[in-house]
Amino acid sequence: MSAAKNKILRFAISFAAIGLIVYFMRGKLHEAIAILRHEVLWSWFAVAILGYFAGLAVLAVRLQWVFRVQDIRMTFRECYHLGFVGLFYNLMLPSAVGGDVVKAFYAYKHSGKKIESATSILLDRLLGFVALIVMATIGLMCFSKEAENAYMDYAVYGALGVLVFAIAFFASRRFARLFKGLGRLIPRDTWKKQLAEIYHAIYGYRHHQGPVFTAILLSFVGQAVFISVNYWLTRSLGAEIDFWKFFILIPVISIVSMAPSIGGLGVREASVLYLFGRYLPAERALALTLLMDIVIYSFSIGSGIWYAFRGGLKESQVVSHPAHL
């Protein structure tokens, strides 16, 4: 599929999902807005906002650990800033990995290490998927009887299959050689060489089990924080749902949101309405959906304003030292 057709598909899915939500919830929109205007408990909302900042901080520490294996030395502040840059570009670019591309670019400009920067960002995203997909799989096993939705099963178990394949591909050269013939589909030799360098760089992480294990643990911590953020947002609307259920619902929603769309727009809202509609009245589930969007897009737009004043990471002279981890 060409890039243009891919973009058209993403826009079509997002706007179709939004259209269906507006159609089916048209009688509840006024009530949902009234709930947001008059019933939000701002103390819980403030806790959720602080939790969002904390979750981003955990991901910044994880990125530091991933960078260190490639001997890219960045401070916590620099990694934290890079996370906000990624948030902004995830909103601006239709691709789900647009923010990662920009983060890799600025990491390269800062460190002077092109392949290592791209590899680190790619692995950082993969490690995030590990925690998310494991949580979603466990959640679906517990929730499948209530969900009764084959499409949700396909999305989560499909994502689990992709994750298992990716881990096997990058952890075993013998397994990767089985797909060596696919290299013929790559039109340029320079691209083949760069992809081979990226593969070997990621493969090299298997010799740094300590940092990788630490990064995986941080992924679970980060996901737990963001799940808690959604729990606090729900409490801010005066709704009470058992805390443990969010560890089932939110990862499943995140996996479903990876479907082709504009950064999950439309798909994410539909899944929130469907799943939380089992525990909340329709108007309150819609209010929760809108509140989640307010937080997500406020952070993205705020990151854009910050980025407009500060820009990305600056170039610096990096002296290479062997990583001691």
Which amino acid, 311? G
**For 88-123, what is each residue's pLDDT tens digit?**
888 776 655 678 888 999 999 888 888 889 889 988
* Backbone CA torsion sign across 34, 38, 43, 46: positive
The angle formed by the CA atoms of residues 75, 297 and 7, to the nearest 5 degrees, is: 100
Q: Tell me how far apart the alpha carbons of residues 287 and 175 are, in angstroms, rounded to a whole number.
A: 48
Indicate the angle between helix axes 76-92 and 98-111, nearest 10 degrees.
Answer: 140
**For 128-140, what is each residue's pLDDT tens digit?**
888 988 888 887 7
pLDDT of amino acid 144: 62
- State in Å, rounded, how far the first CA of the chain is from the last one: 42
Which amino acid, 53? F
Q: Tell me how far apart the alpha carbons of residues 59 and 57 are, in angstroms, rounded to a whole number.
A: 5
pLDDT band at 324; cut points 50, 70, 90: very low
Q: What are the boundaries of each domain within the chain?
A: 18-310
Q: Tell me how far apart the alpha carbons of residues 254 and 256 are, in angstroms, rounded to a whole number.
A: 6
Most confident of 194-198, 264-268, 309-313: 264-268
pLDDT of amino acid 318: 40
Q: Tell me how far apart the alpha carbons of residues 58 and 49 are, in angstroms, rounded to a whole number.
A: 15
Distances (CA, A) of 210 to 166, 168, 184, 216: 20, 19, 36, 10
pLDDT band at 186; cut points 50, 70, 90: confident
Which amino acid, 178? L
| Mean pLDDT over the full length of the chain | 85
Minimum mean pLDDT range among 5-9, 111-115, 208-212, 234-238: 5-9
pLDDT band at 319; cut points 50, 70, 90: very low
